[in-house]
Amino acid sequence: MSKLSLSVGPQHPGSGHMRIILTLSGDYIIEAIPDPGYVHRGEEKLAEYRNYIQNIPHLERPVVLDATGAIFPYVLAVEDLMNIIVPERAQFIRVIMAELNRIISHLYYMAIYGIFMGHSTMFMWPVGDREVFIDLANTIAGQRVTYAFLVPGGVRNDMPEKVKEQADKACNYFEKRLIEYEHIFMNNPLFEKRTKGVGILPKQDAIRLGVVGPTLRASGVKSDVRKDDTYSIYNQLDFEIPVSNACDSWSRAWIHMEEMRQSMSIIKQCLKRIPTGPVKLNLKQIKVPPGESYSRVEAARGSLSYYLISDGGKVPYRVRIMTPSFRNLITIPYIMKGVMLADMPPTYWGIDYWPVEADR
Amino acid sequence: MVETSNTESTLIEREQKLAADLKSRFGDVLEITIKSKRIKIKVKSERLLDIANYINNELGFDHSTSVSGVDYPNSKEFEVVYHLSTYGREDFRDIVIAFSTRISRDEPKTLSLINIWPSVEYSERETFEMFGIIFEGHPKLEKLLLPEDWNDIPPLRKDFKPPGR
Amino acid sequence: MVSGASTNIFVGKLKDILEYSIEEPLNYLVNWGRLYALWPVHLETACCSVEWGAVSGPRYDIERWGMLAAFGSLRQCDVLVILGTVNRKMAPRVRMIYDQMPEPKYVIAMGACAVSGGLYFDSYSVLQGVDKIIPVDIYLSGCPPRPEQLIEALIMLQNKIRISKIS
């Protein structure tokens, strides 16, 4: 059988811009080489020319679906260097926004997974249900998509009173919808046939390659930064980490569904226990002493970390951003081996690769 | 939250034990600083592979989270920092080791650690194209994120000024 | 009486009558067919693509105005919607996509980065506005623009097509 080299080129109908160069033998893939860089904007260089507050709307843009998860480790690193402690009410509001962004990001993932399979109902339902949670984020932070809401020292504004009632309504509505998603999509015989046993990443490969997020938990490793290297007030909350031993594309989708349930439970606990008080420290200016700091959080797609070096000036000396999509890029040659060409799009989307985040 | 000196010393007990272990084996080649859950090790480039092997096999830090380059034009040096973490050893899961070495700015060359930690493949490639540092032993040191026809100096160096600034 | 001068006037008036009665309605008919069935190629670059997903969803349904996101080939689409930042590695590919579409074709530049470079005005790798490589019909600013603004851009494009002459 002769070999064919195919370039699944930069413009895709559903995903962002990246290229995978495949080598095919008949209908089966024998080699897959990724080629990122089509959305590279130079964020790390630009961060050295803007001061600590001007960097906040900038650094949110790569990970646009999970904007809070992108800026959380940055403010934790700056607060670590400045040695300040954030008020309790601000910590609870930060956790509520982070979990809300996790649900919003996972719903977009399910929507695109549906359209890659040709299941257009599974595109319309999650995109519609996402609007319910975007409205809730709009009430808390004032914007639909990119908030610039977290600042070093707390959050920008306090939440209005009606958030508790709106959140209860949203969570009650969505818990019933998750059961309907299971009926039409997760237990759908076509979806199971195309994704169970496809795109296998064994456990020792997942550990050796340093994979993160739901891709890691689908390969049997029970690891989540919220429990392992706990930050903010997560040690006071009660939630579980879903894990699966199946290592295939179906279990990656299943873990996304279960994480949405856990996030709703966390939001309800936070709204019950949130104390009153100030929401930010009254800092006259952001003066960061010289030093280095490394901080990480569990964003929607996995562990996102910042390495921040300051030399005491107005702008940071070096900002190194490591996003979960860039860390999961290394799995593409491994999971695509032996997969049929028709099953390549869902296998690729299963690891939740967001090209803008990987290229920064 | 006021931390007294008693609680602070129990908070960093594990980190102090790890640092003492490494110092006793390798002596003056290392310089170690400790914070809560973060250890920074500065190594001279001759013993890089031995110490990396020890941290991987004996201490159990089985993957690298990122590789960063930092430019210090005043002392004419680059610093290459590997951040290491572990999934296998559950009692060390919250510790991150920053493993760094300094190399000369005029001839930037260092050994690649891809045979010890395969997860550094794309990060080392990115550090190569952004700073010009050559990692000897890396199988495919080519451009990853920059355009194919880039013909200027590597952009993250401090003497590259962005257009319009 | 029929003479040379009056024949000229008669032919001139006949031409006006024919133009008024056939060509104008034909113009209107062809443009009406085109503007209510604009199929987009979406160049889903960066942050603005999230609002594009929302506008195809059930709440801000853009299919009411005929923009059906038919994920077919480029060769059967009319509108190229540039959703976000175009950088130097991607620019030749955007030109290739524009050249592959058949005439008549239109371009909507969505977001501050596609209009003029936006938040990345001093980046070494971002094209300062997509009109440096392809001609743009509608400029839509915002970071990202709300879904209602995208619908307004589509309606402006439809008004532009309605008054254009087919040739």
Tell me the backbone φ, ψ of residue A150, rounded to 5 degrees: -90, 130
CA dist., res. B33 & res. B27, Å (int): 14
- Domain covering C38-162 assigned CATH 3.40.50.280 in the classification: no
Q: What is the CATH number of domain A3-359?
A: 1.10.645.10
Chain B interface test: which of C125, C126, C127, C128 (most B C-beta within 10 Å): C125
Tell me the two tokens of residue A169.
């309504």
CA dist., res. A226 & res. A212, Å (int): 13
Per-residue confidence (pLDDT) for residue B161, from 0 to 100? 87
Query: What mean pLDDT comes out for the span C90-107?
Result: 89
- Name subunits touching A (3+ CB pairs < 8 A): B, C
pLDDT for A93 beyond 90: yes
Per mean pLDDT, which of A5-14, A262-271, B16-25, C17-26 is the most reliable?
A262-271
Per-residue confidence (pLDDT) for residue A316, from 0 to 100? 93
Residue B126 pLDDT class (50, 70, 90 cuts): very high
Show the domain range for B21: 5-105
Residues of A at the C interface, defined by Cβ within 8 angstroms: 9-17, 37-42, 45-46, 49, 57-58, 61, 64-65, 108, 111, 115, 124, 127-128, 130-131, 134, 144-146, 356
- Residue C60, min C-alpha distance to chain A (Å): 9
Query: What mean pLDDT comes out for the span A309-329?
Result: 92
Contacting A residues, span 186-205, partner chain B, CB-CB under 8 Å: none
Residue A26 pLDDT class (50, 70, 90 cuts): confident
- Residue C102, min C-alpha distance to chain A (Å): 18
Q: Do C89 and B163 touch (CB under 8 A)?
A: no
Percent of residues, chain A, with pLDDT higher than 70: 100
Mean pLDDT, all residues of chain B: 85
Query: pLDDT per residue over A209-255, tens digit each?
Result: 999 999 999 999 999 999 888 888 898 899 999 999 988 889 999 99
C83 within 8 A of C46, measured Cβ to Cβ: yes
Pairing of β A303-310 and β A318-322: antiparallel
Residue B9 pLDDT class (50, 70, 90 cuts): low
Per-residue confidence (pLDDT) for residue C1, from 0 to 100? 59
Per-residue confidence (pLDDT) for residue B147, from 0 to 100? 87
Query: pLDDT per residue over B134-152, tens digit each?
Result: 999 899 888 889 888 888 8
Q: Which residues contact B25 (CB under 8 A, 6 or more apart)?
A: B54
pLDDT for A133 beyond 90: yes
A43 within 8 A of B156, measured Cβ to Cβ: no
Per-residue confidence (pLDDT) for residue A132, from 0 to 100? 92
pLDDT for C124 beyond 60: yes
Q: Is residue B137 part of a domain?
A: no
What is the distance of C-alpha A128 from the center of its chain?
A: 20
Q: Do C122 and B155 touch (CB under 8 A)?
A: no
Domain range list for chain A: 3-359
- Residue C42, min C-alpha distance to chain A (Å): 7
- Residue B149, min C-alpha distance to chain C (Å): 9
Contacting A residues, span 56-115, partner chain B, CB-CB under 8 Å: 85
pLDDT for B7 beyond 60: no
Q: Is residue B92 part of a domain?
A: yes
Percent of residues, chain B, with pLDDT higher than 90: 23
Per mean pLDDT, which of A324-333, B23-32, B147-156 is the most reliable?
A324-333
- Identify the three-state secondary structure at position B99: strand
Which chain A residues are within 8 Å of C143, Cβ to Cβ?
A: 146
The ipTM value here is 0.88
Q: Is residue B129 part of a domain?
A: no
- Residue C155, min C-alpha distance to chain B (Å): 37
B5 within 8 A of B14, measured Cβ to Cβ: no
- Residue A148, min C-alpha distance to chain C (Å): 12
Which chain A residues are within 8 Å of C51, Cβ to Cβ?
A: 144-145
What pTM was estimated for this model as a whole?
Answer: 0.90
B29 within 8 A of B44, measured Cβ to Cβ: yes
Residue C2 pLDDT class (50, 70, 90 cuts): low
pLDDT for A24 beyond 50: yes
Query: What mean pLDDT comes out for the span C149-156?
Result: 90
Per-residue confidence (pLDDT) for residue A301, from 0 to 100? 92
Instruction: Count interface pairs A-B at CB distance under 8 A.
Output: 85
A113 within 8 A of A352, measured Cβ to Cβ: no
pLDDT for A330 beyond 50: yes
Tell me the backbone φ, ψ of residue C38, rounded to 5 degrees: -85, 115
Residue B3 pLDDT class (50, 70, 90 cuts): very low
Looking at the partner chain, which of B66, B98, B118 has a beta carbon nearest the beta carbon of A209? B118
Q: Do C124 and B165 touch (CB under 8 A)?
A: no
Amino acid (1-letter code) at residue A257: M
- Name subunits touching C (3+ CB pairs < 8 A): A, B
Per-residue confidence (pLDDT) for residue B10, from 0 to 100? 60
Which chain C residues are within 8 Å of B126, Cβ to Cβ?
A: none
Which chain C residues are within 8 Å of A58, Cβ to Cβ?
A: 119
Per-residue confidence (pLDDT) for residue A117, from 0 to 100? 85
Put simply, whether C6 touches B (Cβ < 8 Å) is no
Of the listed ranges B23-27, B125-129, C104-108, C110-114, the least confidently predicted one is B23-27
pLDDT for A107 beyond 90: yes
Query: pLDDT per residue over A269-311, tens digit each?
Result: 999 999 988 888 888 888 899 999 999 999 999 999 999 999 9
Put simply, whether A294 touches B (Cβ < 8 Å) is yes
Tell me the two tokens of residue C150.
């995208």
Per-residue confidence (pLDDT) for residue B2, from 0 to 100? 36
Give the residue from chain B lying closest to C88, CA to CA: B147
Q: Do B62 and A37 touch (CB under 8 A)?
A: no
CA dist., res. B8 & res. B24, Å (int): 24
- Residue B155, min C-alpha distance to chain C (Å): 8
Put simply, whether A8 touches B (Cβ < 8 Å) is no
Chain A interface test: which of B36, B66, B86, B140 (most A C-beta within 10 Å): B66
Residue C69: name the closest of C84, C51, C54, C56 by CA: C56
Q: Do A124 and C58 touch (CB under 8 A)?
A: yes
The count of domains in chain B is 1
Which chain A residues are within 8 Å of B98, Cβ to Cβ?
A: 292, 294, 307
Per-residue confidence (pLDDT) for residue C167, from 0 to 100? 58
CATH (domain of B73): 3.30.460.80
- Residue A32's alpha-carbon distances to A19, A20, A64, A337, in angstroms, are 10, 6, 27, 7
Query: pLDDT per residue over C41-53, tens digit each?
Result: 877 787 888 888 8
Tell me the backbone φ, ψ of residue A226, rounded to 5 degrees: -65, -25
Query: pLDDT per residue over B36-82, tens digit each?
Result: 888 898 888 788 888 888 888 888 888 999 999 999 989 888 999 99
Q: Is residue B142 part of a domain?
A: no
